[in-house]
């Protein structure tokens, strides 16, 4: 497929699947129009890259539905100058979208092979403001905390306390919470001082939040 065809498909994806469904933040929409989603999926899934559904990327993991990526990006209110933590690098797509907007993205993947693939992919695509690590995301990335925002792309049965602690005052975290392999609730956590406000936003289905043994 020609490069301009990918651009056309990507613009159509952003307009119909994301913008028309309520995502309005201009920086988020611009990032989604720029990041080549087809570069983040396995070769046998490239033809499906701009469809509005999650796609398997191996190791029991998925690249999230474009609308959900757009929604989760917009809701943390990303801005230039910010520092964001992502838990669950996966293919690296969400990290790339964030990196188009904020100054620095720290992203953690527990599946070593996926982490290696994402690191190589992001480097080859020219992203210099993304730092990757293979680790248990439950513990966050303390040495780079606090973060303006945290995006969690796997379903946890509860909100990990270390992640809440690593939010800045005024920070926001978006995380799916609920039982694995069932419908979860996408939760927004907003930190003010030492208090947290938690709001349920929508039902979702994410792969489970993996922990190291």
Q: Is 39 a catalytic residue?
A: no
CB–CB of 38/70 below 8 Å?
no
CA separation for the pair 92, 213 (Å, rounded) = 24
Q: Give the DSSP H or E segment for 75.
A: helix 66-75
* Ramachandran assignment for 175, one of left (phi > 0), alpha (psi -120 to 50 degrees), beta (any other): beta
From the list 172, 151, 164, the residue with the least C-alpha distance to 96 is 151
| DSSP E strand stretches across 121-166 | 130-134, 147-152
Q: Which of 39, 64, 103, 200 is catalytic?
A: 64
* Ramachandran assignment for 138, one of left (phi > 0), alpha (psi -120 to 50 degrees), beta (any other): alpha
Number of residues assigned to the chain: 213
CA separation for the pair 139, 211 (Å, rounded) = 10
Q: Which residues contact 72 (CB under 8 A, 6 or more apart)?
A: 64, 94, 151, 153, 174, 186
Tokens 């990526």: give the residue: 69
Active site (catalytic) residues = 64
């Amino acid at each position: 497929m020609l490069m301009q065809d990918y651009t056309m498909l990507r613009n159509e994806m952003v307009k119909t699947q994301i913008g028309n469904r309520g995502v309005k933040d201009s920086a988020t929409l611009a990032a989604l129009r720029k990041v080549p989603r087809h570069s983040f999926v396995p070769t046998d899934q490239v033809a499906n890259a701009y469809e509005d559904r999650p796609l398997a990327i191996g190791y029991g993991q998925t690249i999230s539905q474009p609308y959900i990526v757009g929604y989760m990006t917009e809701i943390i209110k990303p801005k230039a100058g910010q520092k964001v933590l992502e838990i669950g690098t996966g293919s690296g797509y969400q990290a790339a979208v964030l990196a188009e907007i904020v100054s620095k993205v720290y992203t953690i993947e527990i599946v070593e092979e996926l982490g290696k693939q994402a690191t190589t992919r992001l480097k080859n695509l020219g992203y210099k403001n993304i730092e990757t690590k293979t680790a248990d995301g439950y513990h966050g990335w303390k040495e780079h905390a606090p973060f303006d925002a945290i995006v969690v792309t796997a379903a946890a049965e509860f909100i990990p306390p270390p992640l809440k602690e690593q939010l800045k005052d005024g920070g926001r975290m978006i995380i799916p919470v609920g039982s694995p392999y069932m419908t979860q609730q996408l939760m927004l956590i907003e930190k003010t001082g030492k208090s947290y406000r938690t709001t349920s936003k929508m039902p979702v289905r994410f792969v489970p939040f993996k922990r190291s043994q």
